[in-house]
Structure 1
Amino acid sequence: MADIYSAVVDARGRLRDEASRAIVPWWSFTKTLIAACALRLVEDGRLALDAPLADRGYTLRALLQHRAGVGDYGNLPEYHAAVARGGEPWADAEVFTRVPADRLLFAPGTGWAYSNVGYLIVRRLIEETCGAGLGATLHALVLAPLGLQASRLAETRADMRTTVFEGGQDYHPGWAFHGIVVGPVAEAALALHRLLNGDLLAPASRAALLDRHAIGGPVDGRPWLTAGYGLGLMTGAMQRPGMAEPIRVAGHSAGGPGSVGAVYQSIGDGRGRTVAVFAAGSDGGSAEDHALEKLIAA
């Protein structure tokens, strides 16, 4: 893959010297940070993880794990057409007209369906609870406590123009309705490592983060042998050609106009290494392959 930027954090939390400081869009790795933010509010008693939301049959946990049954806009031609012509992002009312939050794909907890709209609901819940926008709340509750100095929520096209991938520089981040963090590749790796190994979350919250719902077996064109989803975390086993055995990972893949990414930690194998890889293009499987290669490197 051309235009690859990567960073490695070793098991002791030390960032390797060659780690890239390039600014990139973190795309759906932002979901991991949103989940951490929500769990901090749960710990403070300001949100409930397992109580049904008012007038809804699903819980915060179900939304964070994509088990609420909420639909998505990814298969709507009008969404892709609006993004392609450079239009302004839809207001919430239009999103929920096109993807009603109460017209569920399945009864909550009985299935799994990836839903950016579900994470939009979580975003608004966080903002209503804190009385502030997601950018300020993420900074106060997650980014700053994790020691991230340059990462922030993208709000405008100007924010996207600070990133290195030309293919996404004219994209309005508002089209990813749950939000997109932009920041150095090195800080993406540090964010996941410190989240899974530090004290930002209480042990019970970290366990909830990693408690996965199994999704399925091998994925064509990608290194996944088994796949599952925790709370804002993709988890499972990966193996690439030449590996004697698979390794277990937790983190999140990422993708949007112009670039893809993979931010993962090897878990349960004594390594504890964390890797972030972001690359130009649309081949998410290659980004995951590249991350896996770095995870298993001596």
Structure 2
Amino acid sequence: MHIVAAGLFAAATGTTDVLAAPARAAAGAPARSATTGRTLHVGTMQAALDDIAATAAVGVLAEVNDGAQVWKGASGVARLGTRQPVSAEGRFRVGSITKCFIAAVVLQLAGEGRLTLDDTLQRWLPGILPDGSRITVRQLLQHTSGVVNYTNAASFRAVYRSEADIVRMRNRTWTPRELVTFVDDLPLLFEPGSSWEYSNTNFVLLGMVVERVTGVHYAAEVRRRILRPLGLLHTRVPGANPVLAGVHPHGYLAVEHDGVDQPVDITVFNPSVAGASGEMTSTAKDLNIFFRALVDGRLLGPAEQEQMKIAHATRRDYQYGLGLMTRSTLGGTRLWGHRGEIFGYYAESWTAEDNGRQLTVAVTPWGDIDPKVAITELVETVFES
């Protein structure tokens, strides 16, 4: 059988997001700082990518950066049926890593006094949800709002019942309000602030809040506040544009035909179904630049930086701050970053504390092995070698 990157549907089966986290190091494990200057074990890292491509993906690319040294690697092919190699500088869909960009914009607005983290959803989006007066911006950022994940809603899954439906609906444009409508008549999962549950709806709502506060679309704010200042020339907020521009690996879904899973190219896909929760595209280099700036405090004021890193316990292998995951390796190195998945693509980006080493890796899943397990092992290799 083939492991299918079901993307937005992953949450319903107990995995995360648009994520799937193998059980590894406990989220509360002691942390230590990663030091720069270690030798990058190029052969070991390339062998790990080769293994991922051989068992779990059409192709894989990665960049490791510790400030003094940069290593870029790739393996597999960019497109099935060809010998075209994967470019280590190729663009890919980042899925829920988008949330980190949205969170950075919201926290900047908080630092400017244009909103507060304790503002209610009702203040900025009156009537959007029946319980909007009980839900705060902070709770949306941290997934403690109790709002149902729209991609888990029965009404959403009635539309996207299978991979074949994903392909059939690939050109459909969704508005943020339409996505919220999937859950606006559903009760909260828990009292806001009392528990934690990953929900893409939270960040769709935050995108709408950014627009209400600033008067412009959240994509414009991401470009103005993050992409341009950091020089992220290969990162896009595509909206309804289905084209993955530039050099890129192709993503696939397994669509059943006559009882056999057949790969269907899903690279051209309208990502508005993910919106502010997962629509962006980028490169490994750009994501490393972004997360270095975010973790080091160059994008946020001290107060907002402190709030972002207050992490809430989850039932996963990570804790969750304000739009940012944190976890520890088996050796105790504290990492900050995020995972992201959307149809045909899976990516992780991690930065060690205190100006430490970074890893961004992206795969186009296809094989008998879940690539997330192999990537967990790659993370250990990179940060503990």
Whether TM-score is above 0.5 comes out as: yes
| CA distance 1:21–1:117, shift in 2 (3 Å) | same
1:215 to 305, 311, 314: 314
Cross-structure match for 1:170: 268
> After the TM superposition, which residues 1-12 of structure 1 pair with which residues of structure 2 at under 5 Å, given as runs?
1-2=52-53, 3-10=59-66
Cross-structure match for 2:139: 62
Cross-structure match for 1:48: 116
2:91 to 23, 43, 46: 23
Identity percentage of aligned residues = 27
1:107 to 180, 191, 199: 191
Take 1:102 and 1:127, find their aligned partners in 2: how far apart are those partners?
Answer: 24
| CA distance 1:80–1:8, shift in 2 (3 Å) | same
| Misfit runs of 4+, over 4 Å | none
**Paired residue secondary structure (1:213):** coil
Question: Greater RCO between the two (CA within 8 Å, min separation 6)?
Answer: 2
Cross-structure match for 1:242: none
Q: Which amino acid in the other structure matches residue 105 of structure 2? A: C
| CA distance 1:145–1:102, shift in 2 (3 Å) | farther
Cross-structure match for 2:372: 284
> After the TM superposition, which residues 1-298 of structure 1 pair with which residues of structure 2 at under 5 Å, given as runs?
1-2=52-53, 3-10=59-66, 13=67, 16=70, 18=72, 20-54=88-122, 56=132, 57-75=134-152, 76=154, 77-81=157-161, 82-86=165-169, 88-100=172-184, 103-160=187-244, 162=246, 163-167=248-252, 168-178=266-276, 179-216=278-315, 224=317, 227-239=318-330, 245-267=331-353, 272-281=356-365, 283-297=371-385
Take 2:175 and 2:239, find their aligned partners in 1: how far apart are those partners?
Answer: 14
> Which one has a bigger Cα radius of gyration?
2
In the alignment of these two chains, the number of paired residues is 280
Deviation at 1:228, TM superposition (A): 0.8
Give a deviation string over 1:139-168, Cα, whole Å, max 9, x none: 101222223122110223543364423324
**Paired residue secondary structure (2:110):** helix
| CA distance 1:261–1:143, shift in 2 (3 Å) | same
Deviation at 1:38, TM superposition (A): 0.4
TM-score of the two chains, using structure 2 as the length reference = 0.67
Cα-Cα RMSD = 2.2
Deviation at 1:174, TM superposition (A): 0.5
Instruction: Structure 1 unaligned segments of length 5 or more: list them.
Output: 240-244
Q: Which amino acid in the other structure matches residue 208 of structure 1? A: Q
Q: Which amino acid in the other structure matches residue 166 of structure 1? A: G
Instruction: Structure 2 unaligned segments of length 5 or more: list them.
Output: 1-51, 54-58, 74-87, 127-131, 253-265
